[in-house]
Amino acid sequence: MVVLKSLLYSAAFLASVQRVAASVLKDGTKMVATYWDGSGSLSSFCSNADIDIFQLSFVTSLKSTPEISFGYPVTGAEIKQCQDQGKTILLSFGGETYQEGGWDTPQEAQDMAQKVWDMYGPGGATYFGGNAVNGFDFDFEMAMKNLVPFTEKLNELKQGHPNFLLTAAPQCQYPDQNLASVLTDHLGWFDALFVQFYNNPECGIPGGYARRSTEEPSSGLLGGPSARRSHLAKREFNLGTWLEQASQATPKSPKIFVGVPGSAAGTPSANMGYVVPSLLQTALLPFMAHANMGGVSVWEVGYATSNGKKAWPLPPEITGQIVSLLANPLIHQNTKLGLAQYASVNRGWQAIFEERSWATLRVKTGTPLNLDRFERLTNDPRRPTYIRNIQLIVELEPSDDAARAHFETESEHERNNQIFSDAIRSVLRIIMKWQANKSESSLQESHSPSKPNPLAIWSLAQIDSGEKRPPVLSGRQIS
């Protein structure tokens, strides 16, 4: 892991690492935390001595029943294995695809806090077979309703478990508007903050937003001409502000981690916060002695491990043959994962296999209508570009033997038509969000659900300037 080692050394992180989760944030040791979003199995990274904290990302739904969206499955046994190797495992809530915006009432927020405590934490860890994570992390990137009662309840629950951590990942603007309700007046509830100094040129490390920042400086601690041209001291890199606020917080004084991308590919566009290790060193050294300095937080372990390595060490022709062989359905006919399992090998494979596995998407609406999971999974900007066909299955009202003994009544007919129409509209509304500013869509009726034929097929013709064929939406009524 070239980059994490470089971060470790260049930022003077050569102190002895305390490997006990109970005191992971209670001494002066500087540490490396990294988010893991499913780029390979978790256990495959836990043997790396350069990583102290893993943030599993993300829990993307906190309504009714919490829902995890990992790119690769995680078992309780893996979590325990990593913990036995001295790793601290945090479970992160939110992320870019989280769209719920909190809870309608304080009671709903507190009930959800209790639920995640019971499912993932010391309240039973039922989701992970009794193996509780070491803490919860807030990575909410939208305005949140009733976040204070949610956080207050978790803080109350953890009083009996002093080693359980509560952390947050704010943007570097102080205060982060999405987390301001808890960070402004309740900063002392948190054990650590993983402040995101990337994708934020107004408060990030300035060299990460200059064109020459992706070039390794040639000499000297200050990084040579490239680093000097970044005008480090003249930009509003506000790490000092966060450290000062943390030092004044009560009852706890949280550690501050500097959030950086693991590679230039870890940001949505070029020059949005990635800095080479020598420039990171220049930025962090003045703050290393601060009592609240926790270390570095890296997004994401997959980017960090592939940084400096060729994504495809094999010739493209050989790679193509391997992919074609693995795509043979006979290879994975006895596994539920199918092609999806290969997407976790590395970032290059993820793009290739997701393009195949997402080409045809089967969507079942359920009763009552709920397309939240479909919307969350397709919120990743890459995935909609892979989709060519959507098979929409619309569930109508359930019918018993008595109902099947007579023809559909007029009221039943109207209700079923409404269910079908609502499902079509909901799917189209989601699809329209994918490229709202780049394309126009038109609904073409092939067979109306109001006609006697029980099979109704609809299609969506997507007008796209790209070379790929447009996706086609087809659906059928079932009762």
Residue range 98-102: mean pLDDT, rounded: 94
Q: So what's the pLDDT on residue 277? A: 79
**Beta strands 67-68 and 53-61: pairing type?**
antiparallel
Maximum distance among all alpha carbons in the chain?
A: 86
315 has a pLDDT exceeding 70: no
Residue 233 is given by DSSP the state G
**CA dist., res. 55 & res. 167, Å (int):** 10
**Radius of gyration of the CA atoms of the chain, in A:** 25
**CA dist., res. 355 & res. 366, Å (int):** 26
b/e code 56-76 from CB counts within 10 Å (16+ = b): bbbbbbbeeebebbbbbebeb
**CA dist., res. 322 & res. 8, Å (int):** 36
**Could you tell me the pLDDT band of residue 84, with boundaries at 50, 70 and 90?**
very high
Using DSSP's 3-state secondary structure scheme, residue 202 falls into coil
- CA-CA-CA-CA dihedral for 126, 128, 132, 136, to nearest 10: -100
**CA dist., res. 96 & res. 35, Å (int):** 13
- The answer to whether the beta carbons of residues 50 and 17 sit under 8 Å apart is no
- The answer to whether the beta carbons of residues 434 and 464 sit under 8 Å apart is no
Least confident of 81-90, 225-234, 318-327, 386-395: 225-234
* Nearest partner of 264 among 226, 321, 318, 303, judged by Cα: 303
Is the N-terminal amide bond of 268 cis, ω within 30° of 0?
A: no
| pLDDT tens-digit series, residues 255-284 | 999 999 888 888 877 668 888 877 888 888
* Nearest partner of 132 among 95, 93, 163, 94, judged by Cα: 163
Least confident of 92-96, 279-283, 339-343: 339-343
**CA dist., res. 71 & res. 109, Å (int):** 27
Residues 6+ positions from 349 with CB-CB distance below 8 Å: 323, 342, 343
Q: Taking the CB of residue 314, how many other CB atoms lie within 10 A of it?
A: 11
- The answer to whether the beta carbons of residues 276 and 11 sit under 8 Å apart is no
Distance of CA 215 to the CA centre of its chain: 28
Element (H or E) spanning 324, and its range?
Answer: helix 316-326
Q: So what's the pLDDT on residue 394? A: 86
**CA dist., res. 467 & res. 112, Å (int):** 45
Angle, alpha carbons 101-105-106 (nearest 5°): 100
Residue range 24-29: mean pLDDT, rounded: 61
Q: Which residue has the tokens 């204070």?
A: 148
Q: Which residue has the tokens 């956080």?
A: 151
176 has a pLDDT exceeding 50: yes
pLDDT: which is higher, 86 or 470:
86
Q: Taking the CB of residue 188, how many other CB atoms lie within 10 A of it?
A: 15
**CA dist., res. 118 & res. 424, Å (int):** 37
Give alpha helix (H) positions in 327-473.
347-357, 372-377, 383-386, 401-404, 410-434
Task: State which amino acid sits at residue 441.
Answer: S
Q: What is the pTM of this model?
A: 0.63
- The answer to whether the beta carbons of residues 107 and 61 sit under 8 Å apart is no
- CA-CA-CA-CA dihedral for 181, 186, 189, 190, to nearest 10: 60
Residue range 44-73: mean pLDDT, rounded: 90
**Could you tell me the pLDDT band of residue 433, with boundaries at 50, 70 and 90?**
confident
Residues 6+ positions from 328 with CB-CB distance below 8 Å: none
Residue range 340-354: mean pLDDT, rounded: 64
Q: Which residue has the tokens 């993300």?
A: 58
Q: So what's the pLDDT on residue 58? A: 94
